[in-house]
Amino acid sequence: MFEKRYLASRLTATVLLLAAVVVAAVSARSYLAMRDPAPHVDRVVPHAGFEKHRLSEWFDGLAGTPMDTDVYLQQGAEPGGTVLVLGGTHANEPAGVVAAVVLLERADVQRGRLIVVPFANPMARTHTFPQDAHPQTFRFFTPAGTERVFRYGARTTDPVNEWPNPDIYIHPQSGQTMAGIERSNLNRAHPGLPDGGPTERLAHGFMRLIAEEGVDLAIDLHEASPEYPVVDAIVAHERAMELAAMVTMELEFEGVPIRLEPSPVNLRGLSHREWGDETDVLAILMETCNASAGRFRGKTDEALILDGEDKAYDKAAGLGRLYVPWESYNRRMAERVGRHVTAVRLLADNLEYVRDGKGITIDGLPGYDELSAEGVGAFLAD
């Protein structure tokens, strides 16, 4: 019927114009809701002993900007090393965020110091990618029935904060060229610039934090698509490789199969490369398996984020196209968070074997089996 040209008139044009305005208004309202979420969204309840700071205390160029983010520090009774854990470098990799929140709400530091940044790139939490159809939030329930809601964001900084991207992004320190959108990717912006774009300035803030606090071990928590080769993996800077190898073996002993990958020396802008090159820190990046950000996925909903259930991935697994065993134990949020939390604990436990007097002991963290059996909600505060 649309081919009958006489159907179009000034009236239909006006109706369609109004419809377009309504659709734009509804979309705008939904979009703005992510920038100004309700108080219960992304709420965290730090464990006793944590002090709340802002990243701008280390780099005042972030003060009063959307780049600034919360930094939590807990000092143990005994002196030791310092470990920094970042979640949310990529806001569409939710297990990294949730694992950092579990650390923040459960960690009881006995020796050394723990620094946790649960939402490393706050500007990536205010939008989702166009046409990716991701839900804006996902939720857990604590044993008392309290709903804990977190935003599902994007890999890159919101274009409202950093736009437009160039056709080609040139990493400032190395001159390496990348796709233009990588200018908005925190994990291509390290070590950052004090006077660069918002994402580069944010990266500079983390570099200042690491340098000024004398961080011994820095761990960046990520997730990767099941069809991406570096998944269920620890990626380690060459100076952190001995520690990472020890932890890889311990994870295997605990029934958590994991790959060990060297940080490529010629792939610049990544946390595990630049932090390790620019400072004395042992730099580690962790990847778990996240089907909700994968390209093969079908229906994209909260169940996919939390359980990884997807017919298209089932088929891809049957065809041998995935880099992970496609079993429920590997794709549920509980096990993905369990991997991250267990690896952080083991990395901290083993730090003293590669750095004398820099041991870190963290009590109170749930084990992989506990998280797997009871779910993430059981280990979040009310």
Partner 1 sequence: MLLTWIYWAITVLAIVLVVHSLYRERSLREQFVAAMVLVPLLLRALFIK
Where do contacts with partner 1 occur on this chain (CB under 8 A)?
1-8, 10, 12-13, 16-17, 19-21, 23-24, 27-28, 31, 160-161, 163-164
Task: Write down the residue that tokens 């990767």 correspond to.
Answer: 224
Q: Residue 130 and residue 4: Cα distance in Å, rounded?
A: 33
CB of 128 to partner 1, least distance (A): 14
Of 11, 106, 22, the C-alpha closest to 366 is 106
CA distance 374 to 142: 10
- Looking at the Cβ atoms of 24 and 168, the one nearer to partner 1 is 24
In angstroms, the CA 337 to CA 372 distance is: 9
CA-to-CA distance for 218 and 209, rounded, in angstroms?
11
What tokens appear for 189 in the block? Answer: 């912006």
Q: Shortest distance, CB of residue 2 to partner 1, whole angstroms?
A: 4
Q: How far is the CB of 135 from partner 1 (least distance, A)?
A: 19
Least distance from partner 1 to the Cβ atom of residue 32, Å: 9
User: By C-beta, is 29 or 320 nearer to partner 1?
Assistant: 29
Residues of 286-307 as b/e, b for ≥16 C-beta within 10 angstroms? bbbbbbbbbebbeebeeebbbe
Q: Where are the beta strands (DSSP E) in 271-350?
A: 282-289
Nearer to partner 1, 197 or 338 (CB): 197
Backbone Cα Rg of the chain: 22
- Minimum CB–partner distance for residue 11 and partner 1 (Å): 11
Least Cβ distance, residue 44 to partner 1 (angstroms): 28
Residue 123, CA distances (Å) to 64, 120, 134, 135, 319 in order:
13, 9, 17, 17, 38
How many other C-beta atoms can be found within 10 angstroms of the C-beta atom of residue 131?
5
Query: CB-wise, 5 or 175, nearer to partner 1?
Result: 5
**Toward partner 1, which CB reaches closer, 94 or 198?**
198
Judged by beta carbon, residue 23 or residue 265, the one nearer partner 1 is 23
Give min distance, CB of 18 to partner 1, in A: 9
CB-based contact 125:91 (threshold 8 Å)? yes
Residue closer to partner 1, measured from CB, 31 or 329? 31
Residue among 379, 376, 381, 382 at smallest CA distance from 94: 376
Give the shortest CB-15-to-partner 1 separation in angstroms: 9
Query: How many Cβ atoms are within 10 Å of 39's Cβ, its own excluded?
Result: 6
Residue 124: C-alpha distances to residues 58, 158, 304, 315 (Å): 21, 5, 20, 31
- Residue (163 or 353) nearer to partner 1, CB: 163
